[in-house]
Amino acid sequence: MSLSEQPSTLSSRLGALAQRLGLIGRAPRQILERASQLRLPFSPLPAIRDSICWQDGPQLHRLIDLPRSALSGPVQEDKAQAHAVLIRVIELQEQQLASFDLRRVDGFSAGNREQAPFGCFEDYAASQACRQVRIISYKDFVKTISLALPRFLADERISLRQASWHGERVFWAGEHHSEAFACAIAYARRRELDISLPADLSHYRLSPQGLAQLQQHYHVLAMPGAAWSDPAFMGLLLDSGLPYARLSLLRSPGDPEFLLLPKYSAEATALGEGLRLAGAPDVVGYLRRLSNQS
C-alpha cells in the first residue's frame, strides 16, 4: 500500500478489508486501521542457507518438546491453547539403522556459529579452524576420527539428525572434536573409504496437518525486538485486552519473536491483519515455503 494514497482511499480499503473479515464492531476496525499505520523495523525471515551448522537456521525441532514456559503472555489459557497447536507443527521420525555410511554426514547438530559460513566439510577442513588436524595415512584417519568417536573401531552407534528444512543434509549429534570429525569424513570421501556404523537417525519434518491447523486458528507474525518497547504497538496489544501469546524460537538474540493472535477473537484478528499490512512477516507462510522446499 503506497504512502502516497489519500487518507480516504486508505480508509475505504481498510473498511472493505474489515467488512470482508467480519470485523463489524468499531473497536476491531480501529485496531486494524491503527495497526496498519505502525512503522516498525520489520525484516524478512531468514532464508535457510547451505551450511554445515544446524544452529544456523530456525530451531523448529524445539516445537516438538516445547515447554509451556517458552510462551509468554498475560493469560495462561491463551498460552495453553497456542502451545497445543504449536507442538503439532513438527513431526519426528526415529530410525535405528544397522549400517550408515558416514561419508553422507555433512553437518554438526551441536556446532557453533563460527562453522555457519561453511557449506561442506571439505571447506571447513581447509579452514584455519582445522589447521592442526593432519591426515596422511589410514592410521592417521583412524586416530583422528577416534578423537570424535572414541569407540569407532568397536562399531559403537552414532547419533544423527536430519530436518526437512535442511534438505538431505545429515548432521552429526556429537559435541566434541568437531574439527577432527570433519577432517576425517572429508578424507574418507576423498579416499573413497567405506566407513559405516550403526546409527540412530532422528528426522524432523514440517507437518502439513499441523501447519493447516496453525493457519486456521492463528495469525503468526514475526515481530522485531523494537516492537516490545514501542508505545503505539504495545498500546494496541494491551489496551483492548485481546488474547495473544509470544514465542522466541529463531536463532540468536535480536532475531524476531513470534506473536500468535487467535483468529476466534475479532480484536486479535484485526491486529494480525493490520500488522501484516504494516509489513510484519507471516510466519505460517514462511513455514509453508520451507515445507515446499523439502
The number of angstroms, rounded, from the C-alpha of 48 to the middle of its chain's C-alpha atoms is 9
| pLDDT value of residue 256 | 87
Q: So what's the pLDDT on residue 78? A: 94
pLDDT number for residue 1: 44
> pTM of the full predicted structure?
0.85
Written as one letter, the residue type at 183 is: C
Strand bridging mode 196-206 / 245-247 = unpaired
Closest CA to 285 of 182, 178, 206: 206
Cβ pair 125, 182 in contact under 8 A: yes
So what's the pLDDT on residue 11? 53
Spacing of C-alpha 265 from chain mean position:
27
pLDDT in tens, the chain (294 residues): 444 445 556 555 555 554 555 555 578 999 999 999 999 999 998 888 899 999 888 889 999 999 988 999 999 999 999 999 999 999 999 999 999 999 999 999 987 888 999 999 999 999 999 999 999 999 999 999 999 999 999 999 999 999 999 999 999 999 899 999 999 999 999 999 999 999 999 999 999 999 999 999 999 999 999 999 999 999 999 988 899 999 987 656 667 899 999 999 999 999 999 999 999 999 999 999 988 765
* Residue 12 backbone phi and psi in degrees, to 5: -70, -40
Burial class of residue 137 (count of CB atoms within 10 Å of its CB; 0-12, 13-18, 19+): exposed
Answer positive or negative: Cα dihedral of 108, 282, 224, 85.
negative
Residue with the three cell numbers 504495545: 234
pLDDT of residue 56: 86
Task: Please name the helix (run of DSSP H) or strand (run of DSSP E) that holds residue 231, with its range, or none.
Answer: helix 231-239
The per-residue pLDDT for 291 is 84
CB 37 within 8 A of CB 236: no
